[in-house]
Structure 1
Amino acid sequence: MMENDSLNVLILAAGLGTRLRPLTNDVPKPLVPVVDASILDLQARKARAIGNIRLHANAHYLADQVVAAGKTLGFEKVWVELPDILGTAGPLKRIYNEGYRGGLLIMNGDAYCNFDLKAFVRNALALAAQPNGPQVALLAVDFPKVNTFRVGADGRLAGVVGRFGSEEGLPATFSGVSWYSDEALSRIRDGEFDIREFWKQEIAAGRAPFVDMTQLHATWIDMGSPEGLMSACMARMDELGCKFYNDTETNACAMRKCVIHAGVEMPSMAVIDHSILYPGAIVNQDEIIENEIRGKGFKWNVPPTPVY
């Protein structure tokens, strides 16, 4: 058994990345560059700001790459899921069963965000310490396209529209960030796949998860689609305070709000505007590229409409 006082952090990184094919044919979605770093790297940086943590990730698709990245980034362990993926509940119970203690913070490996994770964990721990306090906390955002959460007057999860529970209450969207006490983790059934089934069981037992609504309007972008990837890259450039990011040796072309990665050959007279060029992208002389993500064998037209 591994007893420790560190908070364990699990970044879910086992997805197949189907919405970003063929970009993700050769690289797993959590390692797709968002300007200067992968989402896995950026999420790890945010997690470390909490303080005393142990970093974990799970991996399935192109798992060897995630394992290698985890070693480079100083992860405690990357938990490979083969031959079958374990869903959203299985990875949590696996870490608990291996003896890790100290609570578990879950983050997504495909979300660009600026949450105050330290404040979220602090609030979750304070509530859990109260008599009959919630042992699970879920961080919510306001995303009207989804907003399937229904939150009761007591601040606890009342239901998920189309899945279970009440359809009355305050609407919100699950951000993918959550916290589980060791006690809660012990109650996840071995072989459980969908974490929503666990939430349903907790509600039925009178232990509904707490929904933290204090960061509803924080930046939260699902970068797992072309539109989301574009928005995440634009937001990252804003965060870095740069108008363009050029990782090539070419500086003669006109660049406006764009990302050009190493491995792209840039003609001197090309114009790149609000676009992302990944290795393998072909750019012609005098070409104007606008509102596009381009890479090896693909071009996606992505209008400049934010998705967050």
Structure 2
Amino acid sequence: MSATHGSPKTAMVLAAGLGLRMRPLTLDRPKPLIPVAGRALLDHALDRLVDAGVETAVVNSHYLGGMITAHLAGRRDLHIVPSPEETPLDTGGAVRRALPHLGTEPVLTVNADILWLDGPTPALRRLAANWDPERMDALLLLMATTKSVGYDGRGDFHMDPLGLLSRRGESEIAPFVYAGVQIVKPALFGQDTPDGAFSTNLVWDRAMEAGRLYGLAHDGAWFHVGTPDALVESEELLAQGGMRWIGP
């Protein structure tokens, strides 16, 4: 894989979720503003983007979106473009709406309800180093299902030795879950996609059918902060260095 294309300078941070599973913590604040280890989830994501050389971040919002806009006004380390949504557009619709701000070059997208610790090389730099636009339409950061903190699903993808992805069968358990971070070509979201809400799964399935959906296994710790219990578990592990995920 090529490392000559450089890291994306533009990112989309998906921060418009309702956070229903996180109640009652989200009754008075949007989920991205819940603090983990003393810092809002949204800021954890933006900090990693800044470290990776991102210069512009488009941040969507819906539920209690004014609080997100006000919170972001305090950041000076990158250019932030708010993308408020009157009606939730889901992950794919959010990117489609933001296309005028994202440009035509590959971008990073990051979910605002996850948190990760880097391995020996920062995850966003690993993604950029493995990104090959000649062969890929999207490159997803994946986490081993068995090592995912706060995740209790059946996984999302199988990955072959070259990194090509395929979906798990309906009754299967897949070895990898999407870690909420990807490099993707923005044009995919404007090609025959709905005007309103739709999931990024639509774009991924098309890339998969074309043999252009790839993955990269994360080599650090990963936390899905989706419920109050998962928040407690994540903070306890982070207080211990986040290292319980390493085991036999």
Q: TM-score, normalised by structure 2?
A: 0.81
Q: What is the CA distance between 1:150 and its match in structure 2?
A: 1.7
**Contact 2:10 2:102 survives alignment (8 Å):** no
Q: What is the CA distance between 1:153 and its match in structure 2?
A: 4.2
Higher helix share: 2
SS of structure 2 residue aligned to 1:218: coil
Query: Per-residue CA shift, 1:105-149, capped at 9, x if unaligned?
Result: 11111112124212212211xx22x4xx11211111101343221
Matches within 5 A, 1:1-308: 7-74=9-76, 75-82=79-86, 84-98=87-101, 100-115=103-118, 116=122, 117-124=124-131, 127-128=132-133, 130=134, 133-144=135-146, 145=152, 146-162=154-170, 171-187=175-191, 189-191=193-195, 193-204=198-209, 206-213=210-217, 215=218, 217-239=219-241
Give me the whole-angstrom Cα distance separating, in 1, the residues matched to 2:58 and 2:101.
Answer: 13
AA in 2 matched with 1:121: A
AA in 1 matched with 2:177: T
Give percent identity, aligned residues only: 23
AA in 2 matched with 1:228: A
CA RMSD of aligned residues (A): 2.7
Equivalent in the alignment of 2:149: none
Give me the whole-angstrom Cα distance separating, in 2, the residues matched to 1:153 and 1:78.
Answer: 39
Give me the whole-angstrom Cα distance separating, in 2, the residues matched to 1:36 and 1:225.
Answer: 17
Give me the whole-angstrom Cα distance separating, in 1, the residues matched to 2:75 and 2:45.
Answer: 11
Compare relative contact order (CA 8 Å, sep 6+) and give the higher one, 1 or 2.
2
Give me the whole-angstrom Cα distance separating, in 1, the residues matched to 2:66 and 2:96.
Answer: 22
**Relative to 1, partners in 2 of residues 1:150 and 1:6: Cα closer, same or farther, differing over 3 Å?**
closer
Give me the whole-angstrom Cα distance separating, in 1, the residues matched to 2:47 and 2:102.
Answer: 25
SS of structure 2 residue aligned to 1:30: helix
**Contact 1:6 1:54 survives alignment (8 Å):** no
**Greater Rg by CA:** 1
**Relative to 1, partners in 2 of residues 1:52 and 1:35: Cα closer, same or farther, differing over 3 Å?**
closer
Give me the whole-angstrom Cα distance separating, in 2, the residues matched to 1:78 and 1:102.
Answer: 20
The number of aligned residues is 226
Higher strand share: 1
Q: Which runs of 5+ in 1 are unaligned?
A: 241-304
Runs of 4+ with >6 A deviation: none
